[in-house]
Structure 1
Amino acid sequence: METPESIHEFWFGTETDDAAVAAAKTKLWWAKDAATDALMLQHFGDTLAQAASGALDDWAATPRGRLALILLTDQFARNMYRNTAQSFAYDALARTWCKEGLAMEVDRQLRPIERVFLYMPLEHSEDLEDQNRAVALFERLVQEVPPEQRTTFAGFHDFAVRHRVIIERFHRFPHRNAILGRPSTDEESSFLQEKGSSF
């Protein structure tokens, strides 16, 4: 059975330097790889289902346990069910665990690289208020990391800003339209032809 610790080690590894973690895990976190997606479904599919059913709610009692729930529902789901509506099916759960954690200042008990993924459900939200909060959190994070790591974390902030720009313009992410069966407007269709229109 998977645990918060095994989920954490899979996603972050064992390196203690946050910038090194980000460099080492770039492919896992951001590349689209069918083999990795299949591996994650095999290893974590049942655990995601348990999290969605409420069977793992007790994990939320600890910072790392809460982060594991968010990773499962916000990140792992996007890999395991890529290009299907199910990849977004757990977003509301992830946002709830995120916002509850922020209200309790759980993020202050996590490493900066862990905080990136605690905040990510807000960046994935199609609500502008969530987007504004994500940008503010990532901005604060950049200021709080050691100077030698600011370039790494500035990259996360930049992506948060880019997500918000899309929500400000369209009030949703157009690249999700086809997957979710939503018709695109002409403006959205034109936008989707541009580089960087999808994440």
Structure 2
Amino acid sequence: MATADEVLSYWFGDEPDDGRLADQRGALWWSKNATTDAEIRERFGTLVRAAGQGERDAWARTPRGRLALVILMDQFTRNIHRDTPDAFALDDRALTHALDGIETEEDRDLRPIERVFLYMPLEHAEDMAMQECSVAMFQALRDEVPAAHKQPFDVFLDFAIRHRDVIARFSRFPHRNAIIGRQSTAEELAFLEQPGSSF
């Protein structure tokens, strides 16, 4: 099975400039692409299952190992199990690792672009306190990066705010309802008709 370094290499490549990296990897990170989903499933599916069973918890002994765990549980699950309940099955474990990394300040040992993905489980949480924490972390991150790199971090902050606002309004993400078998309210159904209502 792949190592933590191989997970990070796949996700981030080798571009040293965070601004250019965000541009180069945007399609991998944010696009819904069946080919990418299949590649991640083939390369990392067994590893995601192992991590979900606690078999890679030792990775959390280092900041980058913890980051790799979070990517497996919070990002790769969404590729491998897209549009199924299993896409969210490891969210709680990813959130625990993210919060541990923040509490111990291990996040400070990561590059800004890497911290984006350590913080992502907060943004994915259907919990208002976690959403407020998410916005605070992405705001601080945006404020820290050099002016030349702020554009992608402005976008990351905007998405954190948009996620927070959905939870403030509905206490959950309506676009997940059909996937996990929750009944949508009339207000949620109307919201889902709006462009950009799903992430």
**In which range does the TM-score fall when normalised by the shorter chain?**
over 0.9
CA distance in 2, matches of 1:2, 1:64: 14
- Deviation by residue 1:133-176 (Cα, 9 ceiling, x = unmatched): 00000000011001111111111000000000000000000000
Tell me how far 1:35 sits from its aligned partner: 1.0
Cα distance in 1 between the residues matched to 2:162 and 2:14: 30
Could you tell me which residue of structure 2 aligns to residue 69 of structure 1?
69
Equivalenced residues, count: 199
SS in 1 for 2:187: helix
- The percentage of aligned residue pairs carrying the same residue is 53
2:74 counterpart of 1:39:
no
The residue that corresponds to 1:148 in the other structure is 148
Q: Distance in 2 between matches of 1:175 and 1:31?
A: 17
Unaligned runs of at least 5 residues, structure 2: none
Corresponding residue number in structure 1 for 2:106: 106
Per-residue Cα deviation, 1:106-139 (whole angstroms, up to 9, x for no partner): 1100000000000000000000000000000000
Who is 2:91 aligned against? 91
* Aligned residue number for residue 160 of structure 1: 160
Letter in 1 for 2:188: E
Deviation per CA, 1:14-71, whole angstroms, max 9, x where unpaired?
A: 0000011100001100100111101100110100011011111100000110000000
* Aligned residue type for 1:196: G
- The whole-number CA distance in structure 2 between the counterparts of 1:141 and 1:101 is 15
* Counterpart residue identity of residue 96, structure 1: T
Whether 1:50 aligns to 2:50 is: yes
Q: Distance in 1 between matches of 2:68 and 2:142?
A: 23
Cα distance in 1 between the residues matched to 2:152 and 2:101: 24
Match of residue 117 from structure 1: 117
Say what the alpha-carbon RMSD is for the aligned residues: 0.5
Secondary structure of the equivalent of 1:25?
Answer: helix
Q: CA deviation at 1:88?
A: 0.3
Asked if 1:20 corresponds to 2:15, the answer is no
Distance 1:158 1:141 in 2: 12
Q: Which runs of 5+ in 1 are unaligned?
A: none
Task: Give, in whole Å, the separation in 2 of the partners of 1:152 and 1:90.
Answer: 27
Letter in 2 for 1:135: V
Question: What is the identity, as a one-letter code, of the residue corresponding to 2:62?
Answer: T
Q: Which amino acid aligns with 1:174?
A: P
> 1:146, 1:11 → 2: CA distance?
23
